[in-house]
Amino acid sequence: MTKVTMTVNGKTVSAEAEGRTLLSAFLREGLGLTGTHVGCDTSQCGACVVHVDGRAVKSCTVFAQDVAGAQVKTIEGMANADGSLGVVQQAFQDHHGLQCGFCTPGMVMSSAALLAENPKPTEHEVRHYLEGNICRCTGYHNIVKAVLAASGQDVSSVAAE
């Protein structure tokens, strides 16, 4: 075991990790940040997406030791300073972009990364960017609406559920 230190949601944190410890496990089991979900552990579902140095990363595909020293952001870091929902989170709530909520942390983190690099994406760009995030409940339309709404765009032309 090695002590691994990184900055998570603005705080410097450390926990023990083996060489094989995935970032997803490090966050959930080492740091108790269980908002990052694990749906497959095989890089398919996207429930585990976090930001590493500003980039969306499937945390089940990365060893914790390999991101030592990095700036990591998880769903726990997406709320506003006063505890209210952040813009993307609020848009998911407003547009019913979730049902069971299992995929939602990854969806929100991927969506936020998209909007950081492309503040006014088209519907097609949203759907393309979220291809790596699987939702078994919503049918995706309301998720796409939420992302477009979070970018300040009209969502009336997005296909209805």
* The residue to which tokens 């959930």 are assigned: 28
Quick check: 33 binds ligand FES (CB under 6 A)?
A: no
Closer residue to ligand FES, CB minimum distance, 33 or 47: 47
141 binds ligand FES (CB under 6 A): no
Can residue 139 be called a binding residue for ligand FES (CB under 6 A)? no
The region, left, alpha or beta by phi > 0 then psi within -120 to 50, assigned to residue 9 is: left
**Least Cβ distance, residue 56 to ligand FES (angstroms):** 11
Exactly one of 5, 40, 93, 152 binds ligand FES (CB under 6 A); that residue is: 40
For position 98 contacting ligand FES by CB under 6 A, the verdict is yes
**Residue 135 touching ligand FES (CB under 6 A):** yes
d(CA 10, CA 63): 20
Distance CA 1, CA 149 (A): 45
Which among 27-35, 96-104, 109-117, 149-157 is the span making contact with ligand FES, rule CB under 6 A? 96-104
Query: Would you count residue 50 as binding ligand FES (CB under 6 A)?
Result: no
Tell me the three state secondary structure of residue 92: helix
Contacts of 146 (CB under 8 A, 6+ apart): 88, 91, 92, 94, 95, 97, 111
Which residues of this chain interact with ligand FES, rule CB under 6 A?
38-41, 43-48, 58, 60, 98-104, 135-138
